């Protein structure tokens, strides 16, 4: 790692030896996958469906991956989805959906009921989400919008309510309305925003960040050039810009949450500025927001954040990528 990044880690009290592990989530038989990958998968005992594998194993070229039998997703990311406590029939908003691993996990959980709305500001990244939905045959209850997550305003609409009362021509017009709809599952509800709508049951705000807790992201600088690290991660102006964005994303996600619903805020940054500081400011600005205890994490290998009821995953403690998690409800 370059000196500038090592200095960044030191300033934030982080050990550079933390960047190591890899995980997958299985959709089908373990023995079959192990035989093809020619390695033993180690079950993640604290998170259902997750397995760790040696870092030298390439899954992208395997038939299991191409056929949609396994997902590449870090265990900490899976934990963030688990914290949402998604139930059958929930209408879920994934406000920063790309590249789509968490989106797919949410869709697997809701199964044949409810809906998922995925939003991302980058069209090409959201197109990658669409590809994943098609690959894993998960699209029936999902819609994807290219939109700014800080201003996105469309509430969930129950499919049967919509189809029973709105003429088809009007439905088609709404589907083409901005923000740009690039994927529409046949049972995903639709665009409209009406007075009857009360918001999403669950909202995930896995916010844009400097990604300093993610080994996959840091490795990209070998191709981008380590000189760009200063501009993309370490520059104080960049950090200030990111934290302002994170607060706006969290605020808008909470606005779209129904009363009594749950929202999870997460980042893969290890810095306090992008995590606890954002949460503190958000709570100060939103009297109806209340931090919730994350009961499911009782036996998880993670630490408490600086704020009680928040969690921090890191490679040394958790053997995962770095991730901060906070759960809110709306009073």
The residues annotated with a catalytic role in the active site are 268
Q: Is 206 known to sit in a ligand binding site?
A: yes
Burial pattern 215-254, b for ≥16 Cβ within 10 A else e, equals bebbeebeeeeeeebeeebbeeeebeebbebbbebbbbbb
Asked if 21 contacts 55 with a C-beta cutoff of 8 angstroms, the reply is: yes
Beta-bridge partner residues of 50: 25
Q: Is 74 known to sit in a ligand binding site?
A: no
Asked if 109 contacts 49 with a C-beta cutoff of 8 angstroms, the reply is: no
- Beta strand 200-206 with 257-267: parallel, antiparallel or unpaired? parallel
Handedness of CA 142, 146, 148, 153 (dihedral sign): negative
Q: 190: which 2 tokens?
A: 């639709």
* Sequential DSSP letters for 90-109: -EEEETT-TT-HHHHHHHHH
Enumerate the known binding-site residues.
Answer: 120, 148, 206
Enumerate the known binding-site residues for S-adenosyl-L-methionine.
Answer: 120, 148, 206
């Amino acid at each position: 790692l370059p000196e500038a990044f090592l200095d960044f880690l030191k300033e934030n009290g982080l050990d550079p030896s933390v960047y190591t592990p890899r995980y997958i989530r299985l959709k089908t038989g373990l023995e079959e996958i192990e035989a093809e990958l020619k390695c033993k998968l180690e079950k993640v005992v604290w998170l259902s469906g997750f397995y760790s594998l040696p870092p030298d194993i390439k899954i992208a070229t395997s038939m299991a991956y191409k056929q949609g039998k396994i997902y590449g997703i870090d265990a900490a990311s899976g934990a963030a989805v688990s914290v949402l406590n998604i139930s059958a029939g929930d209408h879920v908003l994934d406000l920063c959906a790309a590249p789509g691993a968490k989106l797919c996990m949410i869709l697997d959980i809701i199964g044949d009921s409810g809906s998922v709305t995925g939003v991302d500001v980058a069209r090409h990244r959201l197109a990658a989400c669409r590809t994943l939905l098609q690959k894993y045959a998960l699209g029936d209850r999902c819609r994807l919008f290219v939109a700014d997550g800080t201003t996105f305003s469309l509430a969930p609409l129950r499919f049967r309510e919509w189809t029973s009362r709105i003429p088809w021509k009007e439905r088609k017009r709404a589907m083409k309305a901005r923000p740009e709809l690039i994927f529409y599952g046949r049972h995903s509800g639709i665009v409209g925003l009406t007075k009857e709508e009360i918001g999403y049951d669950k909202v995930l705000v896995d916010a844009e960040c400097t990604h300093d807790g993610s080994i996959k992201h840091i490795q990209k600088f070998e191709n981008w050039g380590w000189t760009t690290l200063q501009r993309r991660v370490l520059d104080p102006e960049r950090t200030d810009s990111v934290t302002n964005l994170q607060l706006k994303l969290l605020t808008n996600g909470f606005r779209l949450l129904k009363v009594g619903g749950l929202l999870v805020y997460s980042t893969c940054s290890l810095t306090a500025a992008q995590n606890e500081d954002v949460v503190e400011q958000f709570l100060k600005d939103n009297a109806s927001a209340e931090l919730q205890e994350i009961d499911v994490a009782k036996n998880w290998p993670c630490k408490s954040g600086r704020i009680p009821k928040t969690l921090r995953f890191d490679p040394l403690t958790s053997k995962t990528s770095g991730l901060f998690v906070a759960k809110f409800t709306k009073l």
